[in-house]
Amino acid sequence: MQDSKRLPRRRHDAALKRQVLAECAKPEASVASIALAYGLNANPVHKWRRMAEVPSARQATERLTPAHSFIALPLTASQPTPAQELVIELRRGALTVKVSWPVAAASECAAWMRELLR
């Protein structure tokens, strides 16, 4: 077995990263071709782009922290509005009948349904 020495990880200065990212931001830019032009692998360039899009943890925390505290407001419960009409749908085979009837005349609706269903 051979001992293979690992090459040290390459470090790129911020100026190079900014320059590469500026070129990648252009419309119709190919990240892979730009990386090759600089002698880089495209994977780190993609990582730099993701890192440039994500704000720092401190900025994210500041955005999530509310500027004001909670203020409780008194609310009154609204009364539900009563239905103005009854809607009845009857089905027998292929026939469907939909009837709308005023709520005030519910007893007449019941009598009508009894007659209908005899």
Ordered by start, the domain boundaries in the chain are 14-64, 85-116
Highest mean pLDDT among 48-57, 73-82, 95-104: 95-104
The stretch 5-16 carries a mean pLDDT of: 85
Coil, strand or helix at 34: helix
* CB proximity list for 67: less than 8 A, separation 6 or greater: none
CA angle 77–80–83, rounded 5-degree value: 175
Q: Taking 60 as the threshold, does the pLDDT of residue 1 lie above it?
A: no
Alpha carbons 99 and 101: distance in angstroms, whole number: 6
Higher pLDDT, 117 or 24: 24
* E strand residue ranges, the chain: 85-92, 95-102
85 strand-pairing partners: 102
Q: Taking 80 as the threshold, does the pLDDT of residue 67 lie above it?
A: no
Alpha carbons 110 and 74: distance in angstroms, whole number: 43
